[in-house]
Amino acid sequence: MFPSAFEYYAPKTLDEVYGLLAQYGDEAKILAGGQSLLPMMKLRLAAPSVLIDIGSLGQLSSATETAEGLSMGALMRHKTIETSHWPHYPLLRETAPWIADPLVRNRGTIGGSLAHADPAADWGAALLALGASVQIESRDRIRHMALEEFFVDLYTTALEPQEVLTRIVIPVPATAATFARYLKLERKVGDFAVVGVAITVSLAIDGTVAQAGIGMAAMSGVPFAAHQTESLLVGRQLTPALIKEVSESASQEGDPESDRRGSAEYKRSMARVFVERGLSQILQQWESTQSA
């Protein structure tokens, strides 16, 4: 690769990061796994003159699980999440293997993916479905915000130039009977989603939906939470009829664009097909746990 010239720093503490951010301002870019930033630099679509590699900030590479939820460091690699086991959050493991290819997953981080804010990113869709929030830190303050507010526009987040995304927090689901699916249409392995649908459903003992999350990739200018469809599910018994109704609703959400991966009409249809398939698989899985 032949990027424009840049200086490289590898600070050991967040304080040093803040210092460098203050010093270089707009010229600097944070480097996490490099799997979005470096391809852009290679094509000279991005040309930061300073790279601040946050890879040495060990405290951002691990997760802690409490009764309230799961707190994940922004530097956790896709691969680590793929191979971790958090039974309350099955959507994480369902989603991770769909991201890119093993090479990219070994390097890319969950925080980098969110900060990059690609509307087709898989983590965006999955973490919206999980109702996640983010923790953002700078020298002066720590703020928390819902992920939905964090995504502002195409490749644009609420992060300010002096800020670092440090943690992603997922609230514990409403019930222990939580099921999840990630469905993705890709043109080949390593491709971004033509359409991606993340589904997580927590069922009450009687099989009614206690909580539902549906996130969508490539269905809007930002990763997108299908709230209208989620609300149709909550409080109702998961049945084939409901699934049909809900998937019709899913195809009405979002605002996909026609491009080389398909027309808007096609993408809407894929959202419908995936919601239907995902929920049907979840229903089947639940039924089999019932009969067992």
Ligand X SMILES: Cc1cc2nc3c(=O)[nH]c(=O)nc-3n(C[C@H](O)[C@H](O)[C@H](O)COP(=O)(O)OP(=O)(O)OC[C@H]3O[C@@H](n4cnc5c(N)ncnc54)[C@H](O)[C@@H]3O)c2cc1C
Q: What do you get for the CA distance between the two ends of the chain, in Å?
A: 55
Contact 232, 245 (CB under 8 A): yes
* Angle, vertex CA 83, rays to CA 80 and CA 84, nearest 5: 80
**Biggest alpha carbon distance in the chain?**
63
Measured CA distances, 179 to 71, 101, 193, 194, 224 (Å): 20, 25, 22, 24, 20
4 exposure class (CB count in 10 Å sphere: 0-12, 13-18, 19+): exposed
Under the criterion CB under 6 A, does residue 215 sit at the interface with ligand X?
A: no
Question: Which of another protein, ligand X, none is residue 51 near (CB under 5 to 8 Å by kind)?
Answer: none
Site for ligand X in 101-130 (CB under 6 A): 104, 107-109, 111-113, 115-116, 121-123
E-strand ranges in 77-163 read 133-137, 142-146, 151-153, 156-157
Binding-residue pattern over the window 251 to 270 for another protein, x denoting contact by CB under 8 A? ---------xxxx--x--xx
Residue of 16, 65, 148, 191 that binds another protein (CB under 8 A): 191
With CA atoms as reference, report the closest residue to 71 among 177, 161, 142: 142
Stretch that binds ligand X, among 32-40, 248-256, 259-267, 282-290 (CB under 6 A): 32-40
* Angle, vertex CA 246, rays to CA 191 and CA 173, nearest 5: 75
Question: Which of ligand X, another protein, none is residue 189 near (CB under 5 to 8 Å by kind)?
Answer: another protein
Q: What is the nearest approach in angstroms of another protein to the Cβ of residue 129?
A: 20
Under the criterion CB under 6 A, does residue 216 sit at the interface with ligand X?
A: no
Nearest to ligand X of 70, 121 (CB atom): 121
Q: Which residues bind another protein (CB under 8 A)?
A: 2, 4-5, 43-44, 185, 187-191, 194, 260-263, 266, 269-270, 273, 277
Q: Which residues bind ligand X (CB under 6 A)?
A: 29-37, 39, 74, 99-100, 104, 107-109, 111-113, 115-116, 121-123, 159, 164-165, 190, 192
